[in-house]
Amino acid sequence: MANFILHSGPTGALTSPMLGVLFLSGIGLLSPQISASEQYDAEGLTLEAAVSTARQRDPWLVGNQHTQTALEAMSIVAGELPDPKMSVAVANLPTDTGDFGQEAMTQFKVGVSQMFPRGDSLAIRKRQLELTAGQYPHQREDRKAKISVIVGQLWLDTYKAQESIALIERDRALFEQLTDVVQASYSSAFGRTRQQDIVRAQLELTRLEDRLTQLNQQQETLQQRLAEWLYGYAPDHYEGIDGPSPALHLARQLPDIKLLFPQLYTSRPPVSSQVIFEHMASHPAVKAIDNRIRASRAGVELSKQKYKPEWSVNASYGYRADDPLGDERADLFSVGISFDLPIFTGRRQDKEVESAVSEAEAVKTAKWLLLRKLMASFATEKARLLRLNQRQELYQSRLLPQMHDQAEASLTAYTNDDGDFAEAVRARIAELNAEIEALDIEVERQKTIVQLNYLFAAGADEVMGTGHPVGDVK
């Protein structure tokens, strides 16, 4: 704690004794900087716990799993032959008498037929559905990664509001005591405190109150947005759904999220776009589109099967009654095949193939649009991260110490009757603003790292830097 020496004023008397006690107590104007997290170590919701809970309670993941299960079941159905058809009929019954044995052509007929789809359409359709279902695990992994980004950034924003409030609360107590001391000094016969010093101290205290109100509003809003992702999932009812408490209390420790492939940002010369592309090719969202592309190619093969005929085999057995004289008639058995003739293909099969090819090409464009978006996001977020790193270094190495020295010098000058009270207050407010700005920079760095990790994450756990090595570029 810094020591203070009170010098005599112009009249030879010391400045206000209460002011001296305040300064000698070292309540903060010249004390070493302390972070808000050092004030207490109460347990709270950690970033990892928030992300994990949000993933476990996301209904979208459950619905996506059901959709995959449905498609996998349909792929089994699609690979099977259609059910045979059976027919039962009485044929050639005479209308004059209705006698079953009167005419030789009358018979009781039972038949069965089996249809065989065109070419390899069954196997291709089954493979197409399997490929379509194969995109859903990648979609879920991408969804989990996006949850990590969204919930992670909400947590960090809420943390920033929480810690900013803690920093201001720390200084508000100081300004409250300072206001009391200045008023007492002004009321006494000693010291050189002026009325405008009292007004200035009260004004700064009021401004701190306003900042706290704004930050509390921001914190409450962010808490509710974060709580949206933490509610429980109850598929059968909507009463009593488990959810977080109205006021979420976050852990006081800011996590240090590791950056995936740090050499992508520090390599000289810069890595080529081909290297970045190769990393992004393993992204879950890209893999999901790759499955869609393969499924669309299977769709092209399926449409080409329309050039082949569709076959049907049928067989029937006809029972005939004895003739009117009692002689036995032979029963009848029939068998045959039928097939269509895909001859006129210009306005049918050709157009179906053309449509399937265009759909496949459209899916390819979706992949390139996604990759272009990811690479553009990388360039933007990389530039942002590098500048935030520069600002963090500037604040930690120079700006914060200089702000602290300025506040100390201003207060020392004031206590020695050689400075202005307003200047001492401005210096302390500037130091507080610098501390909050430094907190904002660190939080924005972590948010940017989360966003960058998402771009290169092959799995959801890698977004938080816990699921993949963060070493050299491959």
Rounded Cα–Cα distance for residues 137 and 65 (Å)? 8
CB burial of residue 326 (10 Å; 0-12, 13-18, 19+): exposed
- For the domain spanning 34-86+123-307+346-464, the CATH number is 1.20.1600.10
Give the integer Cα–Cα distance in Å for 210 and 230.
Answer: 30
- Please list, in sequence order, all residues whose beta carbon lies within 8 angstroms of the beta carbon of residue 59, skipping any fewer than 6 positions away: 233, 235
For residues 453 and 28, give the distance between their C-alpha atoms in angstroms, rounded to a whole number.
39
Residue 84 DSSP class: P
Tell me the chain's radius of gyration from C-alpha atoms: 40
Token pair 């900013």: residue: 164
The answer to whether the beta carbons of residues 183 and 421 sit under 8 Å apart is no
For residues 151 and 54, the answer to whether their CB atoms sit within 8 Å is yes
What does each C-alpha distance from 186 to 22, 45, 92 come to in angstroms?
Answer: 15, 47, 124
Structural domain boundaries of the chain? 34-86+123-307+346-464
Q: For residue 8, list its beta bridge partners.
A: 14
The whole model's pTM is what? 0.80
C-alpha–C-alpha distance, residues 373 and 286, integer Å: 11
C-alpha to C-alpha distances, 465 to 38, 220, 471, nearest whole angstrom: 26, 28, 11
Count of Cβ atoms closer than 10 Å to residue 19 Cβ: 23
The whole-angstrom separation of Cα 455 and Cα 315 is 61
The phi and psi torsions of 85 (rounded to 5 degrees) equal -110, 135
Q: What is the pLDDT along the chain (474 residues), one digit of tens a residue?
A: 333 333 333 333 334 333 433 333 333 333 333 333 333 335 789 999 999 999 999 999 999 999 999 999 999 999 999 999 999 999 999 988 888 888 889 999 999 999 999 999 999 999 999 999 999 999 999 999 999 999 999 999 999 999 999 999 888 777 766 666 666 656 664 555 566 766 777 777 888 889 899 999 999 999 999 998 988 766 665 544 455 555 678 988 899 999 999 988 887 888 888 889 888 999 999 999 999 999 999 999 999 999 999 999 999 999 999 888 888 899 999 999 999 988 888 888 999 999 999 999 999 999 999 999 999 999 999 999 999 999 999 999 999 999 999 888 887 887 776 767 777 778 888 899 999 999 999 999 999 999 999 999 999 999 987 654 444 433
132, 351, 373 from 307: Cα distances, Å: 24, 12, 40
